[in-house]
Every structure is written in structure tokens, then in C-alpha cells.
Amino acid sequence: MDDVYELFSRGSALLADGHYHQAAIPLRRASQLSPDSTSIREALGRALFQAQQYSEAADEFRAVVERAPTNDYALFCLGRSLQMLGRHAEARQPLALAATMKPERDDYRAYRDRSRDVTEQNAERDDAA
């Protein structure tokens, strides 16, 4: 089963059904066979994020953003992955870009603001120490 489309389809179906760990298996293989496919890498990133493998998810979303810098969803997911890793300062840029690209998305703005607030609180705490 090394057909990229079959692997992507199977992984996407597993992802849609909420089987995140299992979805990552065919999606990872599809990504190895077609590393420039942003669709496959985005789906793999989503599976990894839902499986709480945030570092790997960030790597996948970063790869998507490198190939498609105007992909607001990949920027948002990169930022969310970084947030989940506690890297709020680093998450600010992709979240700000996503929120700027899609100002109608309340969730984009909320997570952007959360990273900004946490970063500012951390800076204030560091200054007080």
C-alpha cells in the first residue's frame, strides 16, 4: 500500500473518525513519498496535534508554511502547536499573521492575544525577579 493517494485517503478517513494516532501512520508514509505535498503534511500535522505530539505537529505545519506562506490555517496550527509546547513568544508571529490574514476568525485573534498576554506576563515576571 505505497500509493500516495490511497495512503492519504486512508489517513484522512482515520483522522475524520478521530483515530489520530492511527491516522498518523499512513499520513507519515504518504508524506515520505510526497514530501512537497502541503495537503498531506497539513493532514499529518493535524493528526499529530490531536495525538498531542506537538513538537512533531509544529514541524509539519512549519514545512507547510515554508511551501505555502499564505496558508492561514497552517500558520494558526503552527502557532497553536508552539503554544502547547509552552513557546508562547515563538507562537506570536504565526498567530499574528494568521489573524491578519483572516480577521473574521475570532479563534485566530483569541489565541494570538493569549500568546501576547502570556509573553508579556512572563516578561514582567522576569523583570521583577
Instruction: Determine the pLDDT at residue 125.
Output: 83
Residues 1 and 52 in one domain: yes
pLDDT band at 127 (very low <50, low <70, confident <90, very high): confident
The CATH number linked to 6 is 1.25.40
Residues 79 and 129 in one domain: yes
Closest to 29 measured CA to CA, from 68, 67, 66, 1: 1
Q: Does 99 fall in a domain?
A: yes
**Which distant-in-sequence residues (6+ apart) come within 8 Å of 35 by Cβ?**
41, 63
Residues 2 and 41 in one domain: yes
Q: Does 63 fall in a domain?
A: no
Residues 112 and 80 in one domain: yes
C-alpha span between 91 and 128 (Å, rounded): 23
* Average pLDDT of span 30-41: 97
pLDDT digits (tens, 9 = 90+) for 90-99: 999 999 999 9
pLDDT band at 124 (very low <50, low <70, confident <90, very high): confident
Q: Does 64 fall in a domain?
A: no
Average pLDDT value for the chain:
96
Instruction: Determine the pLDDT at residue 2.
Output: 73
What backbone phi and psi angles, to 5 degrees, belong to 20? -70, -45
The one-letter amino acid code at 103 reads P
Residues 12 and 52 in one domain: yes
Residues 74 and 50 in one domain: no
Residues 127 and 76 in one domain: yes
Residues 80 and 47 in one domain: no
C-alpha span between 4 and 87 (Å, rounded): 33
CA dihedral 54, 64, 114, 23 (to 10 degrees): -40
What's the grid cell of residue 111? 489565541
Q: Does 74 fall in a domain?
A: yes
Q: Does 32 fall in a domain?
A: yes
C-alpha span between 12 and 40 (Å, rounded): 9
Residues 73 and 129 in one domain: yes
Range of the domain at 12: 1-57
**Which distant-in-sequence residues (6+ apart) come within 8 Å of 50 by Cβ?**
15, 18, 20
**Count: domains in the chain:** 2
pLDDT digits (tens, 9 = 90+) for 72-123: 999 999 999 999 999 999 999 999 999 999 999 999 999 999 999 999 998 8
